[in-house]
Structure 1
Amino acid sequence: MPRSPTIFNEPRMRAMMEREGLDLVIVRGVENSKYVSEFFHNGGNLGYRPFCAFYFRDPAKKPAFVVPAVDLHLAMTQTWIEDVRAYAMAEFFTDLEVHFYDDFFGAASAILQERGVKGMRVGTEGENLTSGFRQKLDTLLEGNELRDISFEMELVRMVKTPEEIRRLKRATEITVKAHESFRAAIKPGNSDEDLHKAASIRILQEGATAVNFINIAAGAANSFAAHAPFPRGYVMQRGDFVKVDMGAQVLGYSADFVRSYFVGGASERQQEIWKRLNEVQVELGLWLRPGVTGGEIFERGYSHISRYLNNFPREFVGHGIGLGSHEQPRMNRVNRTVLEPDTVVCIEYSYYHDGVRHHTEDTFLVTDKGVEHWTANCPRDLIVAA
């Protein structure tokens, strides 16, 4: 039974295509192909196994989706696109008695011929495609004008649909709860493996569909690290610095926020740094509004923190979040992307002092009625009692 998309913002895609004069958009990148098709495939990161969506501005030309044969049946049950085709990959036949093309380009060629793709303006992901795939696709599209729309697709995805917001908010709520278990496990004698286990178990108990990432810094060996992906068996002691950057995932959408701690006590200077990072971060997040640019957000946030901390190291102070962990608007000095309603953003600040990297990150939903602070209830206490 045909259905309408709930993640893919079709009106926003059409508006972009109208604005850019595009007749067809072809997306093969992992995030974009999931976004347009709404099929959350595994394997699209394999260069030899493309998942690719074809979307036409003319509603008379129906969209199409090409997948490896091994994923055909599941794709047909999950995508809103009715025309799903498969090429022989991983399996030569499945439980479906349908024609499989010899390779991806055989399926793509048939779609282009049937839709009369000639003399069109076609948007692709350009430099973001692997060189071999791009060369073959360019050859297949000879006779059409090609345009790299990688950035335009970022802008399409920036504004979230209600279903995307629901998934992101739920992932964030679960991660806040996992922080409770993480903090409770911070004590002398416990290891960073204990911390990782406590957070992972809580994430799954609260109903997440996956643990997307848990980066823990603990002890002098990696207290400076921005992203320490694996626990190393370090046993915590009084006075240690502990930081966690974590995100639960709900149906393909992940949270992303950070808290930092000291076990038993911290110097006055460490406490002052933490206080300033958090007050500036929250002020900036609640100041957000539609119409400001990523660059304007950066300038406000940078000038504010620079009143208190010298040589602030960050090149950006925040980013959008969605299917990707870092999406538009990226809040650096040169970004002119305009913030729009229904954008979910993370504001983050960090600062190095005395061998540790203080880091705090919070999540906000920007609407036309104001800002929702999704991580407001996650405590900011720097010191955990030993």
Structure 2
Amino acid sequence: MAVQEMTVKEMAKKVLNNEELFLLDVRTEDDFNDWKIEGKNFEYLNIPYFELLDGVEEIMDQLPSDKEIVVACAKGGSSQMVAEMLNDEGVTNVYSLEGGMKAWSEHLEPIKVSDLNDGGELYQFVRIGKGCLSYMVTSNGEAAIIDSTRMIDAYTDFAEKLGVNITHVFDTHLHADHISGGRKIAEATGATYWLPPKDAGEVTFDYQPLEDGEKVTIGNTTIDINALYSPGHTIGSTSFVVDDQFLMSGDILFVDSIGRPDLAGKAEDWVMDLRETLYTRYKELSDELVVLPAHFMIMDEMNEDGTVAEKLGTLFEKNHGLNIDDQDEFRKMVTENLPPQPNAYQEIRETNMGKITPDNEKQREMEIGPNRCAVR
């Protein structure tokens, strides 16, 4: 009997729809504890596959009979083997996750956030397995991409489906946790690639400098992207206000936390820049702006429709990182609550500068693991 496979797109739908599922993860305990597929109604069993080489009889009583069981591993090979063994024991409701955690890390799910003025639209691309969020703004046949991942086909194919031409590509900052696809999209489409110049001092390619007060129009003139210099996560971090409705906060502000200032080794230097951005620059903006960050940390940050978004005024009420009056306490909270550095973050930064060009398999390896852009 052939092993049934579940695609990462099917898995994403189960996460977004809060469906019940039993996940048998056959990676090592360390890998599982570091990073797993998260679902609000998922149950988990972690048994490394090498403990199952002699058979699966010992775990049969731990498996449900009334739920789908998905076996997950790093690349999809070991999970197939275990699923076959379960099949042989008469388990029919079992699937192997196609492509494993590597494929899960790369899946992008486009979700419509809102209509914009004069017929435009705003989409959020949710990279569920990595916690990355990127965006497409469309208007009058044109599109802009913000904080794209390296899986550029997801954006170009979606633009083709919508019948729009990508004319501008933005990065809010020089990313350290994932490889940007911004430059490649620009090369493939002829779009203008924008990057904050204070983050671009070591880049090896041409770009359009994105600076405070810059306005870039997408399609109809009412859809302006206004740049707001907002250092703290990096020295060049730049936020965008789109259509006077949405604040693209990059990695400065998240729904449940704030950005970390240490990925260039400058935590002590940049922590007050971070405070200045959050407590002064952002405070001057309208409470009605909807914050759209470049990452999310936990599934609880997702809304019912799968988007990650919240009004700025609500975040000033509920986000702990925005409610620390004492500067010394803020500095201590930020610098003493930093999670481990992202996997291969120095290599990722050098890749995004154009200094190195790893092959595709190496890029996949560099990005494996959870999102770690926030202060805990």
- For the pair shown, the structure with the greater C-alpha radius of gyration is 1
